[in-house]
Every structure is written in structure tokens, then in C-alpha cells.
Structure 1
Amino acid sequence: MSLELALGVATFVGLRLIRAPYGRYARGGWGPTIPARLGWLLMESPAALVFAIVYVLGDHRADPVPLVLLAGWELHYLYRAFVYPWRLRGGTRMPVSVASMAVVFNLLNASINARWVSQAGRYPLGWLADPRFLAGAVLFGVGLALNLSADRTLRRLRGPGESGYKVPRGGAYRWVSCPNYLGEIVEWSGWALATWALPGVAFAVYTAANLVPRALDHHDWYRQRFVDYPPTRRALIPYVL
């Protein structure tokens, strides 16, 4: 957990200095590349698969609360690893180095969260009615819904055969440039609350450390590229950031 928090600090500092070289910031100098679809699959699938493997080794794998938490985790990562990549449009590529760093993080993060949920946490059945779990579950659901909605808006920006970037509009894009990132931060903050555990907190902190700099970069990129970009739209948090 301390390692993950340290990685969060290093990631935040690094991403404020250097834009991660994939997506719209793809550029040379980062070694061999692979198709973005394959990169996303390789990056995100360990989070789903390793979590499941570590989870089934836990003494509390059949308890109701761990099973609910397992379902939430897998719902997110099965989509992110096995659905989202095949909905990407265009022939973009991703450095193997970037995908490899994400794999290492996901192996660590999935392992410590799964071990807590199915072994160390010891959640009684009454935890499902605890205000902390209920509030966390609501945040997780809201964040997931926001993330999916934002992804859908981005997919619909381009018609068949189209390439390039456009200004996303509608939904939460009325207020922020990156509602997809906001959704993930809210989602994993909900996970931290629902699990009420340090592994969940470490993941929520790392998620923010990774996505806040990228959201700020996206916001600046949009404003520089599109002269008609909505002036009141913020990067990540409506009316604040």
C-alpha cells in the first residue's frame, strides 16, 4: 500500500512534467509500439484476471460482502479490458513501455485489493447496510455510469471513416472536458469508501494522481486547438478545476 501511494506521488509529478505518449499525445522516442486496442487489452486484463485469481484463494471468497465487491470490480474491468478496446476507432498505436508500466501497476493493485476483500477484510453481512458501504456503492455506481456515458459520447463524435478530433458536447461535457476521468475518480473513491480499507484508499489516490494531470493536459489541448471551445467549461470538476 505504501508502495502504491509512493507510485501515485511519482506518477503525478511525472505527468505534470511529461504528457504520457499515447492517444492524442502519441510521439516517437518511447520505443516499439503496438496497436492501441491490443495495448488496452494487455494493460487492463491483468486487473480483472489477477483480482479473480487472488480473490478465490481467500478464506472469505464465498461470503456475501466480498462477492458484492468482487462483482463491482469485475464489472468495471471486464468492460475496460474486453469491451472498451474494441470500440476504439482509428489505427492509433501505443508504446510498449507505457503498456508495460500499466501492467505492473495493475498486477500490484489488483493483488492487494483482492487479498483485502477476500482474506483480510472480514466483512460481516451487516456491512451491506452500513452507511459507509451504501455511500461508497452509490459513488461507485454514479462514477461508472458517468464514465460509460462519457465514453459513448466520444465514440459518437466520429462517423464511419472519419478521423481527427472534435469538441465533445452534451451530457457532462457541458461542464468539464474530461467527465470520463471524473467518473473514474468518483468510482474508485466510492470503492475506497465501500471497502473502508487502505488498499482502496491507495487506489483512489493513485487514480486521481494519474488522471488529474491528464485531464488538465486535455483541457489545455482543447483550448489551444479549438478557438470556439466553451470558455466556461472546466477541466475536471465543474466550476472548480
Structure 2
Amino acid sequence: MLTSTLLRFIFPPPSSLFITVMSVFSFTSTAYLGFSELRGKHAPYSKFWNGSSTKSGTRKQTEVSSRKGMLFSYTPAFLACLTSFVLLAPQGTRFLLLRSALTLHFFKRIFEVLFVHKYSGGMVLDLVILISLSYFTITATIIYSLHLTQGISEPPVDLKYPGVLLFLIGIGGNFYHHYLLSKLRGKSDKEYRVPKGGLFCLVICPHYLFEIIGFLGISCISQTLYAFSFTLGSALYLMGRSYATRRWYLSKLEDFPQHLKALIPYVF
């Protein structure tokens, strides 16, 4: 019963061990990172992370600036999107929409790195390489999983155009709130303050909320098991990150507005 219901909304999973393994791995790994954030175990690139206890007694690690690190993190995935237009033959509107959405997603990220975000400190090169490889692999697998549906009947419920709408809402809302965050403090301003404008009046991480909406849009365009598995895992991860962000603000600001939720207005 459950399987037949799911198959109304997604393509039948391909007989590919690689896609099956990647679907399970993408969900479990990203969900685990989210639960780690809830427990207070943060990623090394996070502003919440205190690496002082781990630096002593370990090998010296090469660092790059945060801007260069994030630029390198996104560029291979962006190039994978562009390359897919050359290496893979056209497969109709859905395939074109998926590749276009992913290309625009990573173009936006690179644009923000170069012209919007403000960075301080650096990133460990090993971590940068790991993040870059992860984004590249995820992006290539999303494209490849839809490529494998060539010749298979479309799902009875067509979600690609609602997916385009969700994607545009997500990418637009994410960019707008990233812009608001970039204007929060000047170069020499070290004071912490609560972001203002947009949905910051309701939640502390509206940029994460819109990122989830954007991922959901990409999944609806694709309608493959892998895309939805990754999106669900990413949503759990960003829930953990948003919870950690709210907890961090509470620890820094005595006058933090208690009505502000972490991610979902009035709910969470």
C-alpha cells in the first residue's frame, strides 16, 4: 500500500546498486549531522564550534581563507551541472529543468561567496576538500538518478512545475535573507545582534527554511527516490543547525526575543 502510494509521486527506483547505496547514505549521513548539532557537536566550519580542545596534540593542518574555501566547495558541483549539458543527451523538459535548477543553485552560491557573504577566519583544507567532494557527488548523483529513468513511464502525479515554483521561492527567499545577514554588521563591528527584516521577525534561521523549500523544489522536479532522500536528510540537518543557532544566540544575548523560533514560524 505504502509502496504503491509512493510510486504515484516518484519514479520506480532504478536497478542500480550505486543509487540505492547513495540514497541510504545521503539520508543517514545528513540526518546524523543534524542530530549531532542538536547534541552540541558542531561541524568544524561552524561559528559554534570550539576547536581549541582538539588542536593541541594533533598534526598541524593547512588552512585557507573561508572565502576561498567556500568558493572551492561549490565550484566543482557547478561545473558538474554545466558539464551535464554537454555529456548527457536531452531527455525532455524534466531533465532540462532539473539541470537548470541545479546550475542556478550553485551559481547563486558562488555569487554570494564573491559578492554577498562576509567571512572571517579560515577553513581547514582537508575539510574544504571533503565538502567539495560531497557537493559534487550529491549533484552528480541527482542528475544521474534522473538520467536512469529514461524510457520509464512518468509518475502519475506530475510535480515538476510545482517543483519549479518551490525552487524559485526557496532560492529567492534564501538569497534575500543571506543579503539581510550580510548587512547585519560592519567590518569592524564585533557586537552580536539579532537579525532584522523578512522572516527574521519570526524565526532565527529563515535562510535555512528557504533552503529546504529550494531542495524540496529540486526533488519535485526530479521525482526520484535519491533526490527526496537527500532532501529529507538535509531538512533534518538544517533543523539541527537552526536549533543550535537559536541556542547560540540565547547564550550570547540576554535580551534575545523568546518568541523567535528556530526554523518554522510558531512551531519550531
Q: TM-score, structure 1 length as denominator?
A: 0.86
* Residue matched to 2:42: 19
Letter in 1 for 2:250: R
| Mapped pair 1:2 → 2:2 | no
Instruction: Tell me the distance in 2 between the aligned counterparts of 1:23 and 1:92.
Output: 11
Letter in 2 for 1:89: K
Q: CA deviation at 1:52?
A: 2.7
Answer yes or no: is the 8 Å Cα contact 2:116–2:178 preserved in 1.
Answer: no
Instruction: Tell me the distance in 1 between the aligned counterparts of 2:77 and 2:119.
Output: 25
Instruction: Tell me the distance in 2 between the aligned counterparts of 1:176 and 1:237.
Output: 7
| Mapped pair 1:120 → 2:148 | yes
Alpha carbons of structure 1 residues 165 and 97: separation in structure 2 relative to 1, 3 Å: farther
The structure, 1 or 2, with the larger RCO (C-alpha pairs under 8 Å, 6+ apart) is: 2
Alignment partner of 1:51 out of 62, 66, 81:
81
* Residue matched to 1:88: 117
Q: CA deviation at 1:156?
A: 1.0
Q: CA deviation at 1:186?
A: 1.0
Instruction: Please tell me whether Structure 1 or Structure 2 has the larger radius of gyration of its CA atoms.
Output: 2
| Mapped pair 1:72 → 2:94 | no
* Residue matched to 1:233: 260
Q: CA deviation at 1:222?
A: 0.8
Q: CA deviation at 1:95?
A: 2.4
Instruction: Tell me the distance in 2 between the aligned counterparts of 1:209 and 1:56.
Output: 34
Answer yes or no: is the 8 Å Cα contact 1:26–1:93 preserved in 2.
Answer: no
Alpha carbons of structure 1 residues 154 and 83: separation in structure 2 relative to 1, 3 Å: closer
Write the deviation string for residues 36-58 of structure 1: whole angstroms up to 9, x where unpaired: 10111111112211233245322
Answer yes or no: is the 8 Å Cα contact 1:36–1:85 preserved in 2.
Answer: no
| Mapped pair 1:184 → 2:211 | yes
Q: Which consecutive residues of structure 2, in runs of 5 or more, have no partner in the other structure? A: 1-22, 56-60
Deviates more, 1:186-195 or 1:157-166: 157-166
In terms of fraction of residues, the more helix-rich structure is 1
Alpha carbons of structure 1 residues 48 and 164: separation in structure 2 relative to 1, 3 Å: farther
Alpha carbons of structure 1 residues 54 and 235: separation in structure 2 relative to 1, 3 Å: same
Q: CA deviation at 1:11?
A: 2.3
Instruction: Tell me the distance in 2 between the aligned counterparts of 1:116 and 1:90.
Output: 35
Q: How many residues align?
A: 236
* Residue matched to 1:170: 197
| Mapped pair 1:32 → 2:59 | no
Letter in 2 for 1:158: R
Q: Which consecutive residues of structure 1, in runs of 5 or more, have no partner in the other structure? A: none
Letter in 1 for 2:68: L
Q: CA deviation at 1:5?
A: 2.1
1:141-220 alignment to 2 at 5 Å?
141-220=168-247
Answer yes or no: is the 8 Å Cα contact 1:216–1:235 preserved in 2.
Answer: yes
What secondary structure sits across from 2:47 in the alignment? Answer: helix
Alpha carbons of structure 1 residues 143 and 161: separation in structure 2 relative to 1, 3 Å: same
Answer yes or no: is the 8 Å Cα contact 2:94–2:222 preserved in 1.
Answer: no
Answer yes or no: is the 8 Å Cα contact 1:147–1:181 preserved in 2.
Answer: yes
Deviates more, 1:18-27 or 1:204-213: 18-27
- Report the identity percentage: 24
* Residue matched to 1:133: 160
